[in-house]
Amino acid sequence: MPPLPVSDLKTTFGGKPVQKPAYPPLERDDIRGPCPGLNTLASHGYLPSNGVASPSQIINAVQEAFNMESGTARFVTYAAHLVDGNLVTDLLSIGGKTSKTGPNPPAPASVGGLNTHAVFEGDSSMTRADFFFGDNHSLNETLFKQFIDFSNRFGGGFYNLTVAQELRHQRVQESIATNPTFNFTAPRFFTAFAESSFPIEFFVDGRNPVRGLSIANATLFFKESKFPVDFFRAAAPTGGSLALDIFSAYPIAAGRNVNGINTYTPDPTSADFDKQCLLYSNFVTKTVVLRRNLIINLGFFFDAIENSGCTELFPYGKL
Ligand code: HEM
Ligand code: MG
C-alpha cells in the first residue's frame, strides 16, 4: 500500500462506511490505554472510539493508517488478544477491563485489556510508569519530559534512532535501580525494543526522508492521541525493523531484579534476540495461562475416572 494522506482515508466498521472523523471529543467512558498508536486510531475513528475492538479491526486499522507490516500487525495483535482479550466475543479493550468486551469466560481467562500488567504491557516503558509505581497506562508527565529532554540532547529536537537507543537504555537502568519487581524477560524484552522504534517508524510523516519525530508531533501522538494535520502514513510497510539497532547500542541479557532493586539477573530461560523461537514457544506454553490451566484441569477431570480403564487423552499437549 503506497503512502497515503491519512486525513483522506476512509474506513469501515460493521459494514458501514464512515469518513474518518476529525477527532471527536472523548465520551466519558471511552477507553484509552498504554499504546499511543492504538489510542490515536480510536480517537480518529480507525478503531471504535469506545476503545473496544476485534483483532481484525485492529489489524486493518494499523495497516491502513500507519502502514504497519502485515506480519507484525498480526503477531502483535494476536499476542495481545490471546492474553488480554475475550476469545469468545472476539473483543479486546485497548485499555482497562470493561464489560463492553462481553460476558467473561471462566477463570483463568482475565480479559483484562491492554492495561493488564506482565502479559503484554511491561516495565520500563518510555512514557508510562512501571506497574510497581501504580499507573502503568496513563502518560506520565515526568517521563514525557524526559522523552523531550533526550530528544533535545541526543536528537537536536527530534526523536530519532540515537535518542531511541539512549532512552531505552536509560529506562532500563531506571527500572533496575528503582523497581524491585522489574521484569525484562520475554515477551517484554522484545516489545520494549520494538516499541522504542515505533515512533520513528510510524509517527514520522511518510513523505519525510529524515527519520526523526518532532517534539510537537510526539506531543500530539503521545499526549493527545491525535494525528498531526496533513499527516501521511509510512511510505512502505514497516514494523520493528529498528528494534535490533536499538538493542545493539546497549546490549543486555533478558532478566529481572530477583531480590529487590539493583539485583538484575539474566534469565537464560527467556527468549532473546539469539533465541527468537523461544518467544513463540514461551508465549504459547507459559504466558497463555489458559492452555496450561486447561491441561491441569483436564488432568483433574481424568483423575476422577482414573480407575475406569479409560485412556487419558492429551489433545492440548502435556505440561
Ligand atoms: C506500547 C499494544 C500497535 C506504538 C504498547 C503497549 C501495548 C501495545 C500493550 C504497552 C507496552 C508497554 O509500554 O508496557 C499494541 C497492539 C498493537 C499496537 C496490540 C497492534 C498492532 C502500535 C502501533 C504503534 C504503536 C501501530 C504506532 C503507530 C506504541 C508505542 C508504545 C506502545 C510507541 C510505547 C509507549 C511507551 O513506551 O511509552 N502497545 N500496539 N503500537 N505502542 Fe502499541
Ligand atoms: Mg509499560
DSSP string, 208-261: -SS--EEHHHHHIIIII--PPTT-B--SS-B-STTHHHHHHHS---SEEESSST
Q: Is pLDDT of 144 > 70?
A: yes
Would you state the pLDDT for residue 125?
98
CB 257 within 8 A of CB 263: yes
What's the pLDDT score for residue 294? Answer: 67
Q: What ipTM describes this predicted complex?
A: 0.97
**Mutation probe of ligand 1 site: the residue of 35, 128, 170, 193 with most atoms within 8 A of C-beta:** 35
HSE-up (13 A, CA, CB side) for residue 56 = 5
Ligand 2 centroid – CA 117 distance (Å): 8
Distance 114 CA to ligand 1 centre (A): 9
Give tens-digit pLDDT for 181-192. 999 999 999 999
Does 109 or 289 have the greater pLDDT score?
Answer: 109
**C-alpha span between 287 and 299 (Å, rounded):** 20
Q: Say which residue, 299 or 40, is predicted with more confidence.
A: 40
Cell of 107: 477463570
pLDDT-derived band of residue 4, with 50, 70 and 90 as boundaries? low
What pLDDT, on the 0 to 100 scale, is given for residue 16? 34
Q: How confident is the model at residue 106 (pLDDT cuts 50, 70, 90)?
A: confident
Tracing cell 531484579 back to the chain, one arrives at 257
Q: Which of 6, 31, 38 to mutate to test the pocket of ligand 1 (most atoms within 8 A of CB)?
A: 38
- Confidence at residue 21, expressed as pLDDT on a 0 to 100 scale: 55
Calculate how far, in angstroms, residue 122's C-alpha sits from the geometric centre of ligand 2.
4
Across residues 18-42, what is the average pLDDT?
Answer: 83
Query: Which distant-in-sequence residues (6+ apart) come within 8 Å of 224 by Cβ?
Result: none
Say what the pTM is.
0.88
Whole-number pLDDT of residue 5:
65
Least confident range of 49-63, 106-120, 217-231: 106-120
Residue type, 288: V
**What average pLDDT does range 288-310 have in this prediction?**
73
pLDDT of residue 299: 77
Residue 77 in contact with ligand 1 by CB distance below 6 A = yes
- pLDDT tens-digit readout, 235-272: 999 998 999 999 999 999 999 999 999 999 999 999 99
pLDDT over 80 at 3, yes or no? no
Averaged pLDDT of the chain: 89
Mean pLDDT within 6-22: 46
- Express as a percent the part of the chain with pLDDT over 70: 89
Angstrom CA distances, 123 to 50, 127, 184, 257, stand at 26, 11, 7, 12
Taking residues 199-227, report their average pLDDT: 96
Whether 206 contacts 232, CB under 8 Å? yes
Instruction: Assess whether the C-beta atom of 113 lies below 6 angstroms from ligand 1.
Output: no
Which pLDDT score, from 0 to 100, does residue 318 have?
A: 80
The stretch 95-109 carries a mean pLDDT of: 90
Please determine, for residue 61, whether its predicted confidence score (pLDDT) is greater than 60: yes
